[in-house]
A and B are shown apart, each in its own frame.
Chain A
Amino acid sequence: MRSSLETDKPERHALVPGTPARWPLPAAMTPRLPITLAVAVLGFFVPWLISSANGMTVLVNGLLLGLMALSVGFLLNLLGWVSFGAAAFSGGAAYLFAILCVSSKMNLMPAALLAVAGSVLGGLLIGLVFVRSRALVFTMLTLAFSQLLYQVVSLDQFSSATGGTNGLVVTYKGTFFGLSSNQLADPAQVWPLIWAVVIVATGACYLVSRSQFGRVLRGIRENEPRLQHSGYDTYLPKLAAFGIAGLIGAVAGVLSAVNVGFISPDLLTFEASGTAIIAALIGGYETAIGPVVGGVLVDWAQNEFGSTGNLYLYTGIAVIAVLVLFPHGLTGLATELWRRTTRLLRPLPRRKAARDGSAHAVD
């Protein structure tokens, strides 16, 4: 039934195994690598530029939301799956970390590593079942799972460990990559750490999406049976992709718990996952940096408009406007504008080649 409904929609992604990959771009390649590297390096100096503590807090929270959005966008881009599990991974990891720190009195570093490892392992275990289902059922399962976690941490029976509905202040000892707990709570001092994590995560997602593995995932998204008939195993790649998304989400959750020092069931709500999805969409999930850009923007907007009490109204309008006007998000819009500008600047005979190349450059 689904397949027939889907036929009247145009294929959004043209890339299937066998068709030319986007890279290498045609001769008129944009100087992207130097720009990316420059931004990555200059990003470390942001605390020197922004002196207000509030501004830095917004940026740090924005990057953390961006990481969650990256976890969502990764699955959305490569497999076409909408995961409501971003909150489950990040919130679950944050809870695990808090419990290890508070109840088990572990040091910061081992607790953080163990929490990430535990969440990824748990994610892979549920993934064994979840990734077998088709896209929408997957969405429902991840939604149910995060709701389940939300209810579990809210239960009174576990409140000695989880703090119940009131949440829990996370006190920890030891250092984290050389940062003490006071430094970790200061957005300006924790910035380099989080910026580095974001660079590694976006870079890894970018490389994965360009690799053979990424191509297999795209093939699964476009036509899983065909890929199976071609002799590819599709189960393990899907599971691995789910694990990668889980890893990114878990890292975001632990970093957030380390930075904020407080956890509550709010981390696991429907809204938490929804916000991550919105960030991925607004930024544009078809690029690796899109979700991060979206995360910062959404967090900034929440901070800006949250005090008016009409946050949901503006969020709703923004979501509708972006989806209707810029279906590929803001980075998609930027890419398109850049392409048009460079096309104008290019000498005439090469225009056709660039057009042919860009036909495959949707992803």
Chain B
Amino acid sequence: MLGVLNALTLSALLVMLASGLALIFGLRGIMNFAHGSLYMLGAYLAYSLAGPLGFWPSLVVVPAILVVGGALLEFGVFRPLRKRSDLDLALITYGLSLVIGQVLILIYTGNTLPVQAPSALSGTVHLLGVQYPSYRLLIIGIGLSTVLALFAWLKWTRTGLFVRAVSHDRDTAHMVGVDARRIGLLVVCMSTALAGLAGVLAGPYIAVQPGMGDSIMISSLVIIAIGGLGSIGGAIVAAVLIGVASSLGEQFIPSVATLLPYILLIVILARRPQGFGGARPA
């Protein structure tokens, strides 16, 4: 049971990041390589705010700051450079991720910073026959509920419909009166806010350190590739699959557990190049 819970914790974190990546990719066809460093930025901001504000307010404040970051990204990079190829934009975000990562190291030094879970959640809970850290249950709860809410929003609301419409065919959506630019801004801001939220949650779970963005970025890329690039639903399924495979692999075949996500990716994409979701946003 411990394995299942660990798998869910990891999946919850991964799915928040992967769905943010998938949102931008679905809408603009751009792989945002800066996503991992925005997550890292979220974690470092939460570390700074833990003193003056405490943990709970930072769950709201940090994503709010990252919304501003998303707006900067949209107005500073995606909009002025929209005529450029997807590849150019992806590599510019890669450059951005290098800059953000190094600036964070300059500010916070490269050391691992400890972040405490809020005192109310520092204990363990008896669940499914095991003692499980209650903080991790919070990650599972927030992570999965956020992403399911995102999925429902895309699927059943008017704005969500617009997002799907723009993802499917930007020009036609624009022609029938959807403001594609506003939708673009909204989606980028949501994506960065999700990265920030994941960063806040990751602090007490995984240590806050400079490499945290890169390693989770690679996992998120694997997930959205398996899920079908740009598909939120596919990303959810893929994140759970990767989380379960990693955690169970850790438990039963620890020697090759690190290989599992990549083997899964290669096998699945070789059989089904469009991934689980086949590029449908929701």
Contact = CB atoms under 8 A, between A and B. Distances in A.
A147 B31 contact: no
Interface string A310-323: 11110111111001
Interface string B54-86: 000000000000000000000000000111111
Interface stretch (A126-134, A180-188, A245-253, A256-264): A126-134
B171 interface: yes
Contact of A4 (B85, B106, B169, B256): B169
B259 A151 contact: yes
Contact of B29 (A2, A133, A318): A2
Contact of B95 (A140, A141, A311, A316): A316
A313 B106 CA distance: 10
B256 A155 contact: yes
Interface residues of A, number: 50
A34 interface: no
B262 A144 contact: yes
Contacts of A134: 273
Contacts of A7: 171
Interface stretch (B11-19, B139-147, B148-156, B214-222): B214-222
Interface in A121-157: 129, 132-134, 136-137, 140-141, 143-145, 147-148, 151-152, 154-157
B246 interface: no
Given A143-B218, A327-B88, A317 B167 contact: no
Given A317-B99, A319-B94, A324-B81, A6 B88 contact: no
Given A317-B99, A319-B91, A148 B230 contact: no
A181 B97 CA distance: 40
B244 interface: no
Given A143-B221, A151-B259, A312 B102 contact: yes
B99 A141 contact: no
B92 A137 contact: no
B262 A320 contact: no
Interface stretch (A8-16, A290-298, A345-353): A8-16
Contact of B99 (A129, A156, A320, A324): A320
B229 interface: yes
A42 interface: no
B170 to A, nearest CB: 6
Nearest to A281: B91
B95 A156 contact: no
A277 interface: yes
B96 A316 contact: yes
A40 to B, nearest CB: 30
Interface in B257-274: 258-259, 261-263, 265-266, 269-270, 273
Interface residues of B, number: 50
B95 to A, nearest CB: 3
B172 A147 contact: no
A300 interface: no
B212 to A, nearest CB: 14
Nearest to B273: A133
Contacts of B259: 148, 151-152
Contact of B269 (A5, A140, A313, A315): A140
Interface string B207-241: 00000001000100110010001100000000000
Contacts of A152: 259
Contacts of A151: 258-259, 262
A144 B266 CA distance: 7
A144 B96 CA distance: 22
A323 B265 contact: no
**Residue of A318, A320, A327 with highest tally of chain B CB at under 10 A:** A320
The interface residues of chain A, by DSSP majority, are classed as helix
Nearest to A152: B259
B29 A6 contact: yes
A152 B262 CA distance: 11
A270 interface: yes
A1 interface: yes
A274 interface: yes
Given A8-B171, A10-B83, A312-B98, A144 B265 contact: yes
Contacts of A133: 269, 273
A269 to B, nearest CB: 9
Which interface residue of A82, A154, A155, A323 has the most chain B CB atoms within 10 A? A323
Contact of B225 (A1, A137, A311, A318): A137
A318 B99 CA distance: 10
Contacts of B273: 132-134, 137
Contacts of B269: 133, 137, 140-141
A80 B87 CA distance: 9
Nearest to A143: B221
A283 to B, nearest CB: 14
B103 interface: yes
A156 B273 CA distance: 32
B279 interface: yes
Contacts of A154: 258
Contacts of B169: 1, 4
A156 B257 CA distance: 13
B157 interface: no
Nearest to B263: A148
21 contacts: A2-B29, A2-B279, A4-B172, A5-B28, A9-B84, A80-B87, A133-B269, A133-B273, A140-B222, A140-B229, A141-B269, A144-B225, A147-B218, A148-B263, A155-B256, A270-B214, A313-B98, A316-B97, A320-B92, A323-B91, A327-B84
Given A156-B255, A270-B218, A319-B98, 20 more contacts: A2-B29, A4-B171, A9-B83, A9-B84, A12-B85, A129-B270, A134-B273, A141-B265, A141-B266, A143-B218, A143-B221, A145-B266, A148-B266, A155-B256, A312-B99, A313-B102, A316-B95, A319-B91, A320-B96, A324-B92
* The 4 nearest A-B residue pairs measured at CB: A316-B98, A319-B95, A316-B99, A140-B225
